[in-house]
Structures are given as structure tokens and as C-alpha cells.
């Protein structure tokens, strides 16, 4: 069986993916705050390093795929420390174990919101791999009442990290595709708050129009991940695949 490391395995998209992977015979090493095979807090450098070491050990040194679903939309600096650094640093720490696999794959869960980053300073600091600076900017955004801006910015930075990493520093040479699956609105505990509040729901339906088949179920996202994380994906890398019912196509500026 393939060893697949899934972060955020305890809820929503990560939990649905874990079920699908296990059903097809893969071995899932789940990483989450609690309740997974590995309990870890990916918001801190220590937590990331410890989680990557434990995952490598659990996989016997060979990780066939990593899928990062851990993330938060609670307005605050964790949007940066979990969504961005909790992903990029964790995946980077797993690279030796990925390189040891026959057909390694990396899939990150981004977001349609990453098409609309609102805090360029945060995005730039993330991409410069400067967590202290990113945190300084993030803390300022929180103090200024703009904490919500950190979410799209964290996801925009993540998408750009994946594009860059896919073709830099020997990831492609090592045979490791790196892609992002960017969902529209998914019915999970994370988005549940939106549906409690009719005003918020209206705002979201305008911000994320999904003309094809409406809101996503977590397994709808997980199935797209399965392809990108599996052996059938031989040449797709550095891509952001929008699984969004047409939101990105609706929102995109016309080409010229």
C-alpha cells in the first residue's frame, strides 16, 4: 500500500479524503491537532518539525504522497502560521521521505479566495520564507481590524509557493509533482458559520458564484485530490486546479 500523509485528517476535506484513501487500500498517516495518528500543532516551527519526523518514522522513511488539508479561517495570525507556513515547512521537511518513494506526489489545499489576495505585504513575506516578518504584518492587519484579509493572502501565497516549488530546487528532478486543489465553498465545519447567518451567505454567494452543481461536499474535493495524488498524474505539476463549480471562470478578468 501507498503511505499517504494527510494533515487536517480529523475533519471536513481531510476526513473525507482519509476515508476514500483507506477504501482504496492506501495507508493514511493522519496529522491533526488531536485524534489523528500524529497529534501536532502545525502553527509552530517545533510542531511542524516534530510532525514531519513522526510521519517519516510512521511511514518507514518512504512517503508516497502528502496532502495538506489543515487550515483555519478563524480571523487571526493562524491563517498565516497554519495555512501557509504549516503547509510549506511541513511539506519541505517531508521531502527526503518523498524522494525515497517510487511515484511521490504533493497536493496542497488552497482556496478560490487565493485569486483575490488583499495583503501584499503578507504574501511577499510568506514567499520570502520570512515567518517573523509575515507575523509582524499579520499582527498589524489584526490590530487594524483587517484580520479577514489574511485568509485570501495566505492562500494566494500558498498557490504561488506551489508553482515556484514545482519547478525549483530539484523537486521536478526528484520526480515530485506539487499541485494545489483550490475549492469553492465546501460544506464542512469550517464553512458552517456562513450558513447560520443569511447576510454572510449572501456575501459569500456573490464572492464565490458556483453555477455548476452548487456547494461542494468534502468528498467532491477529495476525489480531485485522489487523481493529483495518485500514480495516474504523471505530468501535472505547478498547477492550481479550481474545484469550484465555475467560480474562478466567472470571476476571472477577461483575457486580452
Q: Which stretch binds ligand NAI (CB under 6 A): 115-123, 137-145, 184-192, 235-243?
A: 184-192
Is position 13 an interface residue for ligand NAI (rule: CB under 6 A)? yes
In DSSP notation, 40-56 reads: --TTSHHHHHHHHHHHH
Which residues inside 99-118 make contact with ligand NAI, applying CB under 6 A? 109, 111
Q: Which stretch binds ligand NAI (CB under 6 A): 55-63, 69-77, 95-103, 235-243?
A: 69-77
- Give the angle subtended at the CA of 68 by the CAs of 227 and 148, to the nearest 5°: 120
Burial class of residue 251 in the structure, from the number of CB atoms within 10 Å of its CB (0-12 exposed, 13-18 middle, 19+ buried) = middle
Is position 12 an interface residue for ligand NAI (rule: CB under 6 A)? yes
The nearest distance, CB 144 to ligand NAI, in angstroms, is 22
58: cell is: 510512521
Phi, psi of 239 (to 5 degrees): -105, 150
Q: Which is nearer to ligand NAI, 7 or 237 (CB)?
A: 7
Is position 153 an interface residue for ligand NAI (rule: CB under 6 A)? no
Task: Mark residues 38-67: x for contact with ligand NAI by CB under 6 A, - for none.
Answer: --xxxx------------------------
Q: Which stretch binds ligand NAI (CB under 6 A): 19-27, 80-88, 94-102, 131-139?
A: 80-88
Active site residue 84: no
Which one among 18, 56, 72, 160 touches ligand NAI, defined by CB under 6 A?
72
Residue closest to 55 by CA, chosen among 79, 21, 29: 29
The C-alpha atoms of residue 7 and residue 19 are separated, in whole angstroms, by 13
In DSSP notation, 66-104 reads: EEE-----SSSTHHHIIIIIHHHHHHHHTHHHHHTSSS-
Neighbours of 76 (CB within 10 A): 18
So which residues are the catalytic ones?
151
| Footprint on this chain of ligand NAI (rule: CB under 6 A) | 8, 10-14, 32-33, 40-43, 69-73, 82-83, 86, 109, 111, 183, 185-186, 188-191
Amino acid at each position: 500500500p501507498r503511505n499517504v500523509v494527510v494533515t487536517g485528517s480529523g475533519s471536513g476535506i481531510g476526513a473525507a479524503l482519509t476515508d476514500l484513501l483507506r477504501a482504496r487500500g492506501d495507508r493514511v498517516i493522519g496529522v491533526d491537532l488531536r485524534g489523528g495518528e500524529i497529534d501536532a500543532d502545525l502553527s509552530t516551527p517545533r510542531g511542524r518539525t516534530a510532525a514531519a519526523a513522526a510521519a517519516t518514522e510512521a511511514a518507514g522513511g518512504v512517503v508516497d504522497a502528502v496532502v495538506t488539508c489543515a487550515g483555519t479561517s478563524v480571523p487571526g495570525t493562524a491563517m498565516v502560521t497554519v495555512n501557509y507556513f504549516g503547509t510549506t515547512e511541513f511539506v519541505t521537511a517531508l521531502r527526503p521521505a518523498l524522494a525515497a518513494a517510487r511515484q511521490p506526489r504533493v497536493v496542497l489545499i488552497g482556496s478560490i479566495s487565493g485569486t483575490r489576495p488583499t495583503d501584499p505585504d503578507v504574501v511577499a513575506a510568506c514567499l520570502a520564507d520570512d515567518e517573523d516578518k509575515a507575523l509582524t504584518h499579520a499582527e498589524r492587519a489584526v490590530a487594524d481590524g483587517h484580520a479577514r484579509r489574511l485568509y485570501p493572502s495566505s492562500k494566494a501565497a500558498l498557490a504561488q509557493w506551489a508553482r515556484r516549488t514545482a519547478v525549483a530546487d530539484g523537486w521536478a528532478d526528484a520526480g515530485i509533482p506539487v499541485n494545489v486543489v483550490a475549492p469553492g465553498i465546501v460544506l464542512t465545519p469550517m464553512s458552517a458559520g456562513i450558513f447560520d447567518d443569511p447576510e454572510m451567505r449572501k456575501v459569500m454567494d456573490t464572492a464565490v458564484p458556483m453555477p455548476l452543481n452548487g456547494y461542494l461536499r468534502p468528498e467532491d474535493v477529495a476525489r480531485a485530490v485522489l487523481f493529483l495524488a495518485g500514480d495516474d498524474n504523471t505530468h501535472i505539476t505547478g498547477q492550481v486546479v479550481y474545484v469550484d463549480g465555475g467560480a474562478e471562470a466567472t470571476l476571472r478578468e477577461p483575457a486580452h
